[in-house]
Structure 1
C-alpha cells in the first residue's frame, strides 16, 4: 500500500493570523482615532522636521533646536489655517449677503425639476432657514475647538518624538541583518525621505494650482478670485477629494454670478484642465518613480482614510500607504506587499 503524500505547502495559519491582525489594527484605528490620528500626523511632521532638527543640534543645544523647530511648525500651521479661514469666511459672507440670488436660483431649478416630475418644493424652507444657519455655526465652532485640541496634541507628540528620534534610531540599528528591526531602521529612513519629497512636490503643485485658479477666475471676472485661489491651494493637499471641491465650488458661484450655463461650463472645463495639467501631468513627472503608486491605490487610500478619520484621514491616507509599502520592501516576509503595490527596494527617494 502506498504511503499518503504529505502536503509540502505552507501552513495557512500564519496568513490567517496576519489577516486577523490587520483587521484588529484597522478596527483600533477607527474606534481610537483620537489616539492614532494625532500620532500619525506627528510622525509625518517629525519626518519633515528631523533633518532641520539634526542640523540645528549640531550648532546649538538640543532643547533650543527643538524650540526653534516647534516655532517654525506653529508659524507654518498658523499661516496655512489663517489663509484657509480667511478665504472660507469671505465666501461665507458673500453667500449670506447674496442669499436672494441663490434663493432665486433654487426656485428656478425647483421649477425646472418639477416640470420633469421631480418634486423638491419646500426643501429650501425645511432646511435653509435660520435654524439651519445656527446649526452650521455651532458645528463650525465645535469643529474649530476640536481642531485646536488636535493640533495641541500633535505638537506635544512632535516635541516628544523629536527628542527620541536619535535614541530610537540607535536602538533599531543594533538589530541583526535581515531582522524586522533592520527593516524598520532602513525603511523608516527611506520613508522619511519619500514623505519629505511627497510634501515638497505636493506643496509646489498646490501653489501652482492656486495661482492658475486665481488667474483663471480673475480673467473670467468671477468674484472672490483670490479666495478661490487660496481654497484651491489648500484643498490640493487632499488628493482626489480636494481638487473636486475646488472645482465644483467656483462653478456654482459662476452659475449664480453670470446666470448663464455657458459661462459656468467654461469655468468648470478650464478648472478641470488646470487640475488635469497639474495633478495628472506635471506632478507625476516631478515626483518621479520614487513616489509612483497606483492611481487606484491613491483613490483607495483617500476614501479609506476618509472613512477612518474624516478629512484628516483623506490628507494622511497617501503618506500612510507610502510608509507601509516602503518599509514592507525591506523584509522578506512582507516584500510581496511592496511588489504588488508597485514600490520596490530599488525605488528609493533622495533625502
Structure 2
C-alpha cells in the first residue's frame, strides 16, 4: 500500500519548472543584443556575404532551367556564375558612373549655382529675413564643400575595390555549391522539416521581392527618363537607370534617386523646371515605390508594411548602406528562422505577417 502510494505520488509529481517567462524574455533580448553587436562589428563581412547569397538565389533558377533543357551540369554552373558576375558588375558600374558623372558636371554649373543661391537669398530678404541672417545663411552655403562630399563618396566607392576580390571569390564558390542546394535542403528536411520549409520560403520570397521591385523600378525609371528628357535635364537616361537601381532600397531609395535630377533641374531650368521634376517624382515614384510597391512586396514575401519599414531602419543602422539595400531579404530571413522554423512561434506570424490569420473554423454541433 505504501509502495503504491509512493509510486502514485511520483507519477503525479510535477516536472521541473522552467525559467520564469520574464527571465526567458530578458535572456533572449540579451542574446539578440550580443548577436547584433557582433554583426555590426563584422558588417564588412556580413553585408557582402549576404549580398552574394541574395545574388545567387536570384540567378539560381537559371541553373535548373539549363539542366532541364539538357545542358551539362558543368556548363549550367559556369553560366550561373557568369550571370551572377554580370548582375554585380552592372549594378556597381551604374552607381559608380552616376556619382562620377554628377561630380564631373557639377563644377561646370558653379555660376548657375551661385545665381540660384543669390536669388534665393534675395527672396528670403523680401520675406523679412535681415542682412545678418542672410550673411550667416550665405556663409553656411559652401559649394566647394558639397563638391568635396560628392568626390569623397566617389573615393569611398572606389575603395570598395579591395573587398571586390573577396566578393567575387565568394560568388564563385557559392555559385558552384548552389548546384547541390536541392540535395542539401532535402537532407535538412529529413531531420528538421520546419527549418527546410523555412529556407525554401526564404528563397522563394526573396525572388518574389526582386521580381516585384524590378517591375516597379523599371516602370518608374522609364517614366522618369522620358520626363527628364522632355525637360532637357542632362543625362536623363542615366538618372532613369539610377532611379531603377535605387528602387531596391525601400522607402528612402526614392529620395536618393530624386536628388541628382532635381539639382540639375534647378541649375539648368530654374525653379520652374525643378518644381515639375519634383511633382513628377512625387506623383510617379512616391505613389509607386512608397504606396503600391510595399503592399505588393508585403504580400509577396509575407511581411507587414510596418515591419518592412522598421527592418529598413534597423538593418541600415546595423550594416550601413548595404543593409538598407538588403533590408527586405534580411528581415525575411530573420522571420523564417525565428518564426516560421519554430512551430511554437507560429503565433507571431499574426503580428508580423502581411495578412491577418484566417479565423478558426466554427465547431459543428454534434447530432443528438
TM-score, structure 2 as length reference:
0.78
Distance 1:91 1:292, change over 3 A: same
* 1:238 shift after superposition: 0.9
Please give the root-mean-square deviation of Cα atoms over the aligned residues, in Å: 3.1
Shift of 1:310: 1.7
What does residue 141 of structure 1 align with?
Answer: 158
Query: So what's the TM-score if we normalise by structure 1?
Result: 0.82
**SS at the partner of 1:128?**
helix
Alignment match of 2:43 (pick from 33, 41, 60): 33
Q: What is the correspondence of 1:281-320 to structure 2 with a 5 Å cutoff? A: 282-283=292-293, 287=297, 289-320=299-330
Whether contact under 8 Å (1:208, 1:278) holds in the other structure is: no
Supply the distance in 2 between the matched residues of 1:207 and 1:26 (Cα, whole angstroms): 34
Counterpart-to-counterpart distance in 2, 1:105 and 1:147? 40
1:191 pairs with 2:202:
yes
How far did 1:63 drift?
3.3
In 2 relative to 1, CA 185–130 (structure 1 residues): closer, same or farther, beyond 3 Å? closer
**Is 1:209 the equivalent of 2:209?**
no
Q: Distance in 1 between matches of 2:195 and 2:84?
A: 26
The alpha-carbon deviation at position 130 of structure 1 amounts to 8.6
Give the CA deviation at 1:317: 0.9
Partner of 1:272 in structure 2?
282
Distance across 1 between alignment mates of 2:138 and 2:158: 31
Tell me how far apart the structure 2 counterparts of residues 300 and 334 of structure 1 sit (CA, whole Å).
Answer: 20
Number of the residue aligned with 2:90:
79
Gap change, CA 1:30 and 1:47, over 3 Å in 2 = same
Cα distance change, pair 234–126 in 1 and its aligned pair in 2 (3 A) = closer
Q: Deviations over 1:39-59 (max 9, x none)?
A: 212221232233322343453
| Matched residue, 2:20 | 11
> How is 1:212-223 mapped onto 2 (pairs within 5 angstroms)?
212-223=223-234
Aligned partners of 2:151 and 2:186: how far apart in 1? Answer: 54
Where does the alignment leave 5 or more consecutive residues of structure 1 unmatched?
1-7, 176-180
Paired position in structure 1 for 2:260: 249
| C-alpha separation in 2, matches of 1:210 and 1:126 | 29
2:137 match: 120
- CA shift for structure 1 position 80: 3.0
Unaligned stretches of 5+ residues in structure 2 = 1-16, 359-368
Q: Which residue does the alignment assign to 2:364?
A: none
Distance, in Å, in 2 between the alignment partners of 1:125 and 1:173 is 60
The answer to whether the 8 A contact 2:304-2:354 is kept is no
Cross-structure match for 1:342: 353
Matches within 5 A, 1:222-241: 222-241=233-252
Asked whether the 8 Å contact 2:266–2:274 carries over to 1, the reply is yes
User: 2:30 maps to which residue?
Assistant: 20
Q: Secondary structure at the match of 1:120?
A: helix
Residues 215 and 334 of structure 1: CA distance in aligned 2, closer, same or farther (over 3 Å): same
Shift of the alpha carbon at 1:73?
1.2
Deviation at 1:220, TM superposition (A): 2.6
- 2:249 aligned counterpart, secondary structure: coil
Q: Structure 1 pair 184/342, CA: closer, same or farther in 2 (3 Å)?
A: same
Quickly say closer, same or farther: Cα 1:126–1:315, change in 2 above 3 A.
closer
Q: Looking at CA atoms only, which structure, 1 or 2, has the larger radius of gyration?
A: 2
